[in-house]
Amino acid sequence: MENKNSDCLFCKIITGDIPCAKIFEDEKILAFMDIFPAAKGHTLIVPKKHSTNLVDMDKEDMFACLGTVQKLAPKIIEAMGAQGFNLGMNNFKAAGQVVMHSHFHIIPRKPGDGLKMWEQGKYEEGEMKVFADRITKALDQV
């Protein structure tokens, strides 16, 4: 494996040093069951090349991950008797990322399963425009 991090849990899974319940593998991607599932069938899509998160992931690996999601998600839905799925990716510790190796979550969903991804919020009067302007200004620097 190219660009391996010896301290990374997922790199150890990719090299076979730690076992996993593998469901798919090709030259760029490993997909395996999450050991702490949000729902039964919760699957992780992991690039074999180490990157910390989406921001530093190679575009080639990002596209390979998303192509794998597109291929596997319908089969996971079918196998789990689900009617849909959530696709998630936590980036940085503040967003809930626990393993610092880029990975996508496919979470099969059924009506009434009780799983909540996040609570809805709202903006105060005029606040949305303030934040939109702040983001637009930051984008001008790209």
Q: Is 105 a catalytic residue?
A: no
Contacts of 131 (CB under 8 A, 6+ apart): 123
* CATH label of the domain that carries residue 17: 3.30.428.10
Selected catalytic residue, list 42, 50, 103, 105: 103
CA distance 92 to 46: 16
Residue 101 lies in a domain: yes
Q: For 101-126, what is each residue's pLDDT tens digit?
A: 999 999 999 999 999 888 889 999 99
> Which is it for the CA torsion 76, 80, 86, 91, positive or negative?
negative
Residue 133 lies in a domain: no
CA distance 53 to 90: 8
Q: Is the pLDDT of residue 11 over 60?
A: yes
Q: What is the pTM of this model?
A: 0.91
* Total count of domains within the chain: 1
Residue 123 lies in a domain: no
